[in-house]
Amino acid sequence: MSAPWLDRSAAEIAAGVREGKVTGKAMVEDCFARQHEVRVGADGLNCLLAADRDASLRELERKPVGGKLAGVPVVLKDNIATTVLTTSCGSRILEGYVSPFDATVAVRLRKEGAILVGKANMDEFAMGSSTEHSAFGPCRNPLDPSRVPGGSSGGSAAAVAAGVVPIALGSETGGSVRQPAAFCGIVGVKPTYGRVSRYGLVAFASSLDNVGVFGRTVDDAALALEVVAGDDTAHDATSAPLPAPSLRDGVRDLRGVVIGLPAEYFPPSLPAAIREKCDRAIEALRERGATVRDVALPHTEYAIPAYYIIAPAECASNLARFDGVRYGLRLEGDGLRGMYEATRRGGFGAEVTRRILLGTYVLSAGYYDAYYRKAMQVRALIRQDFDRVWASGVHALFTPTTPTPAFPIGAISDPYEMYLSDVFTVTANLAEVPAMSLPIGRVGGLPVGGQVIAPKFAEPAMFRVAYALEHGLGREALA
């Protein structure tokens, strides 16, 4: 008996719609039935903040019959602007806000026939690593609802892992696609900075932000990235003037490919069970023909401190626009200044407030050189580390995605301890290189992710490694 259409790959669904084997309407109906079955609302997984069956069905009226994603239901993180559903960024300060325009990635998905079926829960303004910092309550991991799905794109990852959609979009600033992908046992991709347009992505830290993709499989993620990537310099000055890459070439062997293992990502503190899964993945890469060798990225230890200076600094600047004057929440106060203070105090949650305060501090006149300038110098050193590795003949790196599997909701109350969950992911954002996570096994029943990192704009090489690793591990990645 064949699998239900909603459980098939994005490519199979699109082919079925194009060939008339299934309709877009049937896909929408099945998707909303699945949403009800797995309880995506606040009384269950709490992975979707907005979903409207009738609006999704109306979208079909303006959809082409064809397209790479014909009839494929998709979920977008709630910081990606859409005219159909609200864009709240997981915050009370934007509760109920509907954008007057669509993000470039939303336009490109629709152009290829995809159907928007929901906006996903997230840490407020993408600031968090667990989706516990949403103003609308924490999201839950579909594989174990007592645990977090990761963050800040936890809602998007949970929707894919729960079988609601085959692909979803999230955003990355320091690991917010790859980390939840690892926690939920799916594939998550952060492209090269500039590969995917940020037009319509609500800014957190502009020099670090990326739109990323989730998929059940490497092929689902590859198809989604092919659709949303490409030149958008007309709308986004940081968009690279390059066409979308071809990622689905079918190559599954790694002969002639050199893969580096950075020692800094395999510290003695890495749990033995995760190291064991990584060792099996490394062996699978060798079996597919890859040459594997040790490399060094010596400034990795400074990545977390540098990131948590640069990102809050940019956040403090970007979030200054949310003041109760132009859009969103407005709370009355004593005069104009009182209105600003009341709105921001009542609209922003604790984590966002913490980062605004930190960012304002490190940008202040007396501390700019000591903190922000120094962090930017460290960022340059981290980029140079990667450049030296690529120059030595390495085509890609393999590392664990996270130092632990998904942790219980409420288990981490110390902000710095929470920040350390991104220790293996923030370097790719600082260096602006592409990286992705895919399942490599389970520890104690919980998924473990392996990370593949490649040089700038080398997504085809990165996906070649990922396809080969997924094929080499087979069902071991799920066991």
Helix axes 218-228, 104-111, angle to 10 degrees: 110
Burial class (CB in 10 A: 0-12, 13-18, 19+), 29: middle
Could you give the 3-state DSSP secondary structure of residue 54?
Answer: helix
Q: Does 88 qualify as catalytic in the annotation? A: no
DSSP H or E stretch at residue 152: none
Residue 453 sits at φ, ψ, to 5 deg, of -120, 140
Contact in structure between 93 and 348 (CB atoms under 8 Å): yes
Which one of 77, 190, 277, 456 is the catalytic residue?
77
Q: Does 392 qualify as catalytic in the annotation? A: no
Neighbour count for residue 27 (Cβ, 10 Å): 25
Residue 348 neighbours by CB under 8 Å, 6+ apart? 91, 92, 93, 124, 319, 322, 356
- Going by their DSSP bridges, the two strands 167-172 and 210-215 should be labelled as antiparallel
Task: List the 258-262 sheet strands across, edge first.
Answer: 48-50, 115-120, 73-77, 167-172, 210-215, 187-190, 435-443, 446-453, 396-400, 258-262, 291-295
Burial class (CB in 10 A: 0-12, 13-18, 19+), 369: exposed
Q: Does 176 qualify as catalytic in the annotation? A: yes
Which one of 9, 91, 152, 239 is the catalytic residue?
152
Which one of 176, 197, 239, 421 is the catalytic residue?
176
DSSP per residue, 393-406: T--EEEEES-SSSP
CA dist., res. 224 & res. 470, Å (int) = 17
What positions carry a catalytic annotation? 77, 152, 176
